[in-house]
Amino acid sequence: MNTQGSCPATRWIPTFIALFVAYQAPEALRTPALMLAFLPVAWLVARALGLVMGRAYALEWNRRCLLLLSGGFLLAIVAKTAALAVGTRLALYSPGTAAVSAGALIDLAWLLPWTFVPSIAEDMLTRGFWARIPDIRWTASAFILFSALLYVLNHIFRLANGPVEWFMLFCFGLAYAAALWKTGSLWAAVGLHWGWNFAGPAFGIAWPYEIADADGSKILSAVVHLVLLAIILFLPKPR
């Protein structure tokens, strides 16, 4: 998993802090568009570590990466569809009336980049960066658990929502970290994360629904991600 050269803690700790601040600033300042600044900061961090962007965050691009990204994205869409279908049957969601218009289609198109940037940024911060630190010799379970815990803690503005929220985020983190570990590429995690982040508001536009049971819907989302985790772990590890 670790393929970088020498990178002492005196370098990667301050660079991680820089990434963390760049990620949290948009929400702290209530300026979502500021998230676009994360990618230039991540590039500067990679350069400070003497690496190119792809190698620093497990984002090397090759022909299989498009398959990992698109496959993860579609799998997350299917998972969200299943969650909404089951949740509606369990009265966790109250369905509305679908009314797709030209304006709605434009909104859906905008959602693709609007959900991609924060998804890949968080994946770089909580998964890709840590997977490539040479000072740490991860085992699969240690990396997945550490990354999932860091993913929970990274949602500092949602921690006040309580244990059910923490549990849901932890299950999300398990699935996304496992996708990186199993494939050796962050693109698989980005696909899953992006697809889930896109599907929520996309269904809100194309298939309106309301949350009738907040805790129940979070637990259902957590269970769906545990199913995704099982699927990921069951798949054969690519060469």
Q: Find tokens 């929520």 and name the residue.
A: 200
CB 70 within 8 A of CB 192: no
Quick: pLDDT tens for 123-173.
Answer: 999 999 999 887 788 999 999 999 999 999 999 999 999 999 999 999 999
| Res 101: pLDDT | 65
> Does position 29 have pLDDT exceeding 80, yes or no?
yes
Terminal alpha carbon distance of the chain:
13
| Res 134: pLDDT | 75
In whole angstroms, what is the distance from residue 43 CA to residue 10 CA? 19
| Res 238: pLDDT | 67
Helix residue ranges per DSSP H, the chain: 9-28, 38-48, 53-56, 63-89, 102-123, 129-131, 140-154, 163-183, 186-206, 214-234
Q: Which tokens belong to 130?
A: 């840590």
Quick: pLDDT tens for 70-83.
Answer: 999 999 999 999 99
Q: What is the pTM of this model?
A: 0.93
100 pLDDT band (50/70/90 cuts)? low
| Res 8: pLDDT | 61
9 pLDDT band (50/70/90 cuts)? low
